[in-house]
């Protein structure tokens, strides 16, 4: 009985989501810059061009592989599509201080934020990292991928290119 009722609630909510066909916009949450400034995700912007939003952690090897792979191609991607990568670290107090030195040492040129209380992570339904979203010019989620395997960055840029072709 309890299970049925609970599932009922979930399915009810789901049916709203399906029937409404709404867009999934970027949730508003407060994150921090690497130098400690508090910033609302509402200020994330790329002048109407697509954004790659990538959840990662300093202790997550596939995440580092993904960001490294993108870093190698990033200049080309930016020239071709104007895309911007925003990397959200979910590192907590244990490892959050590793993020700054790691990012510098790798020489990555992305926009970095810290989500130490996992507010944005939860709001976007992210369970494990890496979890990468593509936002269109209206900051709506149009694509997502959980996991990184060598070469899957090609899928990302394909999605982005098809996105900017659309009128």
Partner 1 sequence: MINYRNGLAGFLCIILFILLTPSPSRAQDFIDKASIQGNFYSEANYYFSDSTIATEKVPEYVRANIYGNIFYRYNKFNAGLRYEAYMPPLLGYDSKYEGQGIAHLFLNYTDSLYEITVGNFYEQFGNGIILRAYEDKNLGIDNAFNGFKMVFRPLNGLTIKGIIGKQRYFWDYSPGTTRGFDAEWNILQTLDSQSATTIIVGGSAVSRYQKDKNPLYNLPENVASFAGRASLYSAGFFLSSEYAWRINDPSATNNMIYKEGQALFVTGSYSTKGLGVLLSGKYIDNMDFRSSREATSNDLTLSYLPPTTRQHTYSLPAMYPYATQPTGEAGALAEINYLVPRKSLIGGKYGTNITLSASIAYSIDKERLNDTTIIGTSGTKGYTAKFGKIGDEKYYHDLSLEVNRKISQKFKIVAGAAHQFYNMDIIQGHPGAESVKAFIAYADFSYRIGDTQNIRIEAQHLSTKQDKGNWAMLLAEYTVAPKWSFSVTDQYNYGNNDSEKRIHYYSLNLGHNQGPHRLAINFGKQREGVICVGGICRRVPSAFAGGITFSTTF
Binding site for partner 1 (CB under 8 A): 2-3, 5-7, 9-10, 12-14, 16-17, 19-20, 22-25, 27-28, 35-38, 40, 59-62, 92-95, 97-98, 100-107, 116-119, 122-131, 143-152, 154-155
Cβ of residue 60: shortest distance to partner 1, in angstroms?
Answer: 5
The Cα–Cα gap between 110 and 87 comes to: 7
Cβ of residue 163: shortest distance to partner 1, in angstroms?
Answer: 14
Nearest residue (CB) to partner 1, 83 versus 124: 124
Count Cα atoms within 13 angstroms, Cβ side, for 8: 5
Question: Which pair of structure tokens corresponds to residue 166?
Answer: 């659309």
Cβ of residue 129: shortest distance to partner 1, in angstroms?
Answer: 7
Cβ of residue 19: shortest distance to partner 1, in angstroms?
Answer: 7
Nearest residue (CB) to partner 1, 84 versus 131: 131
Across-strand partners of 56?
89
Nearest residue (CB) to partner 1, 80 versus 155: 155
Question: Which pair of structure tokens corresponds to residue 8?
Answer: 């009922």
Angle between helices 61-81 and 153-165 (to 10 degrees): 30
Q: For residue 124, what are the CA distances in angstroms to 36, 64, 69, 97, 166?
A: 22, 21, 24, 24, 25
């Amino acid at each position: 009985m309890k299970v049925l009722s609970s599932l009922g609630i979930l399915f009810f909510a789901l049916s709203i989501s399906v029937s409404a066909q709404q867009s999934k916009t970027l949730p508003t949450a407060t994150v921090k810059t690497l130098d400690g400034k508090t910033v609302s995700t509402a200020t994330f912007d790329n002048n109407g061009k697509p954004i790659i939003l990538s959840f990662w952690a300093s202790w997550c090897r596939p995440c580092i592989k993904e960001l490294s792979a993108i870093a190698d191609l990033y200049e080309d991607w930016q020239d071709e599509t104007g895309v911007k990568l925003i990397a959200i670290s979910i590192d907590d107090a244990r490892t959050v201080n590793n993020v700054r030195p790691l990012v510098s040492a790798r020489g990555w040129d992305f926009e970095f934020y810290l989500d130490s209380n996992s507010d944005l992570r939860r709001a976007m339904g992210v369970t494990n990292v890496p979890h990468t979203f593509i936002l269109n010019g209206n900051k709506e989620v149009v694509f997502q991928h959980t996991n990184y395997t060598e070469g899957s960055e090609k899928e990302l840029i394909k999605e982005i290119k098809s996105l900017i072709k659309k009128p």
